[in-house]
Every structure is written in structure tokens, then in C-alpha cells.
A and B are shown apart, each in its own frame.
Chain A
């Protein structure tokens, strides 16, 4: 209560000070009168009495000031005074204010944007209930792609019933492709991306529908009436957010499906489980129908409270090796492993290092910004030395002066932060709408509360750093000297000079670290782009096609007819069909040499592509030996396969595999050719085993038509679509996807990081060069007189220029050397992010050093030129 009373009193004091001041004046006046009266009584003269009284009283203004400080919200007064003063000062120097604010807004904006990304992907928990309990269950992520990371329905059922660590285990069909469902009966067929999830999927994650309900157990049984849940964005887009949508029926692929609910906006399946893709609808996975599909389920479990992931892993280590692939074929075994990881780590763990590097990069930018502004403030402060000395002489305490400088820096920071927030807002909006970047959760990046708190924090920290350094420096300077100093002295404070030099040096070393980091990442990125993918993405494009596959024995004829007709479209040079494309979805089967014995687990799963003749050609996949698949490799004839080099080398070392007999999923198959390796999972990972099987002899999962053309796919789209429609009127409208897009998508995370770090490095370089230019230019201005004298005494233009440039270079070289040393340490720390580039990559280091030196020379040359043009007469007269 007391403090409350005090607060009220102080508030009153601070708001009603004219009265209080008046009262104080009266009180002091009466004080003096009483004192004078007493002095008179003691026999002093009138004048003496008055003098003594006022000497005893001391400074009236000081006493008043003390009174004000003691009585109330003085800081409020002081603050508003400081603020008013600051705005006045900044208005007087708009150039300085504009530059400072601009620099700050870049620094703060970049930091806030990156923080938002880091926060969303790395720091914020996943948008599920108790996300720390959620566990991702996967097979050993070795070679073999998705098929070795997923489980059969029987294995899932067995694990679910035997385990004791999880509240529940759920899964989803991991092999859904995009655009796999046709929405019909609403005009032209529209392609949707649907996914099948286990009946308990949403319950396990803790996601509640915003409309309707989740799946019921009976809807996950064989022959159940089909139902669907709509994704939020799809519901908004296609149904205009119809609030009465629940219970209505839609036509998916000719089947009437009842909509039972809509999932919330916060639930974005794609962004968590399959970055860069969008899911429109969710259907219940009917496990009984999926028994013979092989390994298809990706598993997620929710730990029981109090069960650690270690305990669950111990249990999984016991259970998984005993799981069966199929209850009907216990002799097949299962050969499963189960590696558990917290879902969040699975989703963003791979990105942690990259994101931290990104965070450090913007941190460095902010440091450079601080250093730059410290420098600017210092230059400004030096120019204002007299003003401060004057204020100090008039009774402003050192604290007050520092506070004044801090107020200025905080005001600048705050304005910069506001602009920066706008910048960050735009940047995060841009990033969130980059559907093509394969980064998890990126679509949910926004400026949220924590980003605002972060902004506040860095704004204050920045202001403190760049306000305090010059502030302390300034207020320590000698009052009398500053007053006497004419401003253009011959020997400006040596200490000042040293501090400024130190600032420039640190700025250059920071920029050096940034540039080397960005250079290494850029070099890695170029190396990734240079990787031989094993196929030719340029000039090829793929489109998902629908064809009548009701009679498997007719599949070859149907596709052959389609390919011939497409080839007849003007501009199309080659065609082919495959069910999966490299760097896109994949699946794997078993492949081994017939007649050889292998240890269990010795052979990796082999990526399988079911293709038509001509596919290898249109993709530019190089035949190394043997022949391509032909239309004669019919159903019922000898089964044939083409394998890649890596598989061939292992299965038939030192022999010619062509003509040998292999086992493909247990069936005798003749090897008819060997092709070059294709990067199937990502451009950066070494290729696994791959095989190509004819569509006539194997069931494809969908079909993608690949065409090679000199024309742009957009130009061709309508004629190709017309041809496809003439074959199959139900062919839905889909887009041509240039293969290059698929490649770009695969390298998009690296491109994302490289471009951001690159931008920051350039920003750092610009700031650092501004910094060094500022310091040199300033020192030239300060030395105008000195240079004038030198020139009067016979120094040549070259002489003067050389001196200035030499000084610049000296600073730059110290900075570069320090920066290079720091860069070595930094490079080692980011080794794991590099691709085919050594941390001490000589081209990167050399070019960085050259670049920085050049920049320093240019930054020094401009003031040097100015120095050499100084007219000695004017310089000496000046002042």
C-alpha cells in the first residue's frame, strides 16, 4: 500500500509541478528573508546580510533541481526533455538520421525475419497437443528410400498390440503422390492431393476438426462407405468456406464420398511431414485393403506420460526385429528395425545446423550495424564536442550526457526497428508463400508475439551497444580542452582515433567471416548444381496422365498408342512414361543375383521404376550396356530388368551383367541392360540401387508422361492436353512440370540458405565498406590543416594520396587477417553443411581477401583524392 501511495504522490508531483515549483519558490524566498533578518540582527550591513544568506543557501537552481529529482517522476521529465532534444538534434542532421535509420532497419529487419524462421522451424513446438510426446518411428534410414523406412499393415498391427510404451501408434500412407485424386462433377475434373491416414491419426496427434468430426472406427473397415476430411485451405478455396459442408457428398474419381469434417488451419500436413507439398483431403486408410501393398505406412507414436524415448527405444529394439512383413507368409520374416526420434527432431533436426548458421549470420550483420553506428555516433559526437562541453559547464552531469546520447541511439533504434519490422513482415510473408521451398513449417512463418519480443530485445541491445560506447567515450573527455578546442585541431584525440580504428578493424573482420561463410556455402551450392544427376533435366517436362488400366494385359498397347499420338504433336521430340520420377517419390523392391547367397540385410532395397520403352532415352539416362526395354517385352514373355551401375557392380563384380538372371521381388528376371546411376533421393546423396522394369510386366503406381521438347512446356500444354483428352475424356487438367522444377525443388533448401547468407554477406560488405570510408574520410577532414601544411611544404599529390591509402590499407589488412583467422574457425564449424568443398577452400579465402582489399582501396581512394585536392591556402586560412 505504501508504495502505491508513494506512486500516486509522485505521479501528482510530476503532473502538477508548476504549483509545486511555485510553492518551493515561496518557501525558499521566505528562507532567505528569515536568514537575512537574522544576519541583520547580528549586526551585519544590509548588503553583507544578503550576501551571507545567499552564500549559505548555495545555488538556488541546484537546490530546485535536487528538489525536483527527489520529489518525483523525474525520469519522465528528463525523458521527455531528452526526447524533445533528440528529435531537434536529429532534424538538424537529417542525412545522419536517415543513414542511421536505414542501416538499422536492414539489420533489425533481417534479424527479425530470420528469428521468425528459426522460431517457427526450430524453437516453436509443433502445432499438436503435447508435441514432446510424439515420436517418429522409422526403419534405419539407409539406402532404399521410403520402402525401408515404412512398415506393412501387419507389422503395424502387431507392433500396436504388443507395445507398452505408447498411448497410441498411428500412421499414414507414405506413398501418396500429389494430384492423386480427381474431384469430379464440378465442371472440369480437378486434381487434388489426398492422403490416407490411419483412423486414429488425428486423435493421436491431438488435432480437433473445426467442423464436423474425425473418422469413426467403422469407417476404417473393409467396404465402409467412403468419407473424407477436408484441409482448411482446400475448403476455403474450393467450397468458399461453406459452413454447412459437413454431410455433403463430393465425387472423388467417380466415387461419392461424404465430407465428415474440416481440419483446422493450423494443421498443415504437408508442411510437417512432406515439406513443399500441399494436402487437400484426408481419407481413412483401410488397413485390411492394404495388406498386400507392402511397406507403406509411416508411423508416429504418442508416448505414455512418464515413458522416456530411451525406454520406448529399448522396447522397440526388442519388438521390431520380431515383426512379420505379412501374417499370411510368416516364412518371409520381416527384417524390421525401429528407430525412434522425437517428431520435432525428425521434422527440423536436419535443419538445425543450417538455421543456426543463418542466425549467426544475421547476428554478425547486427554487430556490423552496431559498429557502423558507433562510428557514426562517434564522428557526430566529436563534431558536437563543444555542445556537450557547454552543457556540461552549465551543470549537466556526466550521467545526463550519456543518457542524452543513449536516448538518441534508442530513438534511432526504435525508428529503425519499426521500419525493420515492416521489412521483416514483407520478408516472412514472401517466405511463407514460397510453396516450392522444401522446408518444413515454412508456410506458417509469421511475425508473432515472440518475434516482437525479440525485436524489442535486439533494438534495446543495439541501442545500448552503439549508444554507450561513444557515450562513455565522450563524457570522459576533458571539459576545458573541448571548450578551447577549435574543432579542427592538428592533433585530434589519439584515443578517439584508436577507438575508431578498432571499430573499423572489427567491422572488416566480421564482414570477412560473413563473406567466407557465404562463399563456402555458395561454392558448395555450385558444386551441388554441377553434380551429374544421371539424367538431363533441361528441355524435359512431365505431366501426370490418367489411362485406362482396367486390363493389365492391354496396358502396353494403351500406353504405346498414347505415346505415339503425343509424339505426333508438333514440337515434341521424344516421349516416355514412368510411374515415379527421380528426386520425386520413390519406392523400392528386392533385387539380387539369382543363385548367389546373401546374408540377411546385406543387400539394400532397390529403387524401382516401372517404365515404357523410350523413357530412359527421353530422360537422358545413359545406357552403358545391353538394350532398352522394348514393346516386345510383353506380359507372359520372359521378365526383363535394366539395372544401374552401382547395383551391377555389387551383384556381378567384374562380370558382364547383361544376360544374367536376377531375382526381382523373388521372381526370375533377365538383366537386359545397365544404365548410369541416377540421383534418385537428392542431388547431394550418392545414388542407391536402381532398376527399371517394363510396364507390360509390372504394375505401375500411376503414370507420368515425360516429353522432350525445344518449346516451352506452356506452349505445348494445350495441344498435349487435347491429345490426352481425345484418348481419355476423363483426363483431368494438370500442369506440365519441367524436370528442372523437380531438381530445383530438391535443392531448394540449400538454395534458400545460400541466398539468405549471400544477401547478408553482401549487406555486411556494404556496411563495412561504408564504415571504412567513413572513418578515412572523417580523418581526412580532421587533418585538412595538416595536409595543407604538408602540401605547402612541398608534398606532392601522389604523396598525400599514398599516405591516406596506406593508412586505409593498414587498417583493412589488420581486419582481414583477424577475419581470416576467425573464418578458419567458423569454416570448421560449418563443415557438415559443405558439399564437396573443404573448409579451407582456397578459392573462397583468396577471393574474399581480394574482394575486401579492393573494397578497402576504393573506400580509401575517394577520401584520398579529396585530400590531394586540398588547396593549402584555403586549408590554412580555414578556421
Chain B
């Protein structure tokens, strides 16, 4: 059951990411990225990270991707055209990414017995532990992120404003 869920949603993740890569129109890429992020939320649930699964759906596939689709529609972005730059990028990008993937997969699979298994329902990081760490031990970094978000909002408004 656990293995089946992992294979289904892991496969959905990879399919969505490949669709992002191969679609020419940005709105199709954005929608397939939403599929990737929602499937990742299910994988987080399987790994016992309930709070982060909810945050993934709300923040990533909710807020951030709505912002992306909003900007794509606002700017009326059309299909991307092939240029000289894209030929060079194909020549470098595909082998480079394939080499990176090969190296990472080789390292992970050759150390697979060292890393061990994951069990379903065997979570030690319950939300109480998570919130106690976040709001007690790491209170200052947590407050600093609120300042970061405030600065980001002000920066976004200042940058996107029309100049007179």
C-alpha cells in the first residue's frame, strides 16, 4: 500500500516535471508545476510531515502558483520562440543535467543499504515537537522571517508600480 502510494505520487511528480520541461506555453508549465507540488504534499504526508504537507498545498500550490498564473495572464505571455541561445542551451543543458542526475542516482543507490528504510506511520516529528522548536528555540529566526516577508511585500509593490 505504502509502496503503491509512493510509486503513484512519485510518478505523478516526475510526469508533471517532465511536462513543465516540454510544454512551450508558460501557462501549461505553471499548471504542471501545481501537479508536482500537490503530489509532493502527499509524499510529505507519507513521511509524517503533516504540517508541512498542509503548508505545501496552501503556500506553494496555493499562493505562489496563483501569483505565477496571475503574472502569466497579466503579461499575456505567449509561446516561447526558438532562438540561437536555445540551441546552445540544448547542447549544454541536456548532457549537464543528465550527468548530474547520473552522479546523484549512483551515489544514492550505492549507499542505499546505509540509508535504510522509511516506515509508514512511524513519525517522531509530531506537530507539538515542531511548534515547540519553532516558537521556543527558534523564535528569533521565526520573527526575522516576518520582517523578510514585510520587506518583500514593500519591494514587490515598489518594483511593480507604474512610474509617472
Whether both chains belong to one complex is answered with: no
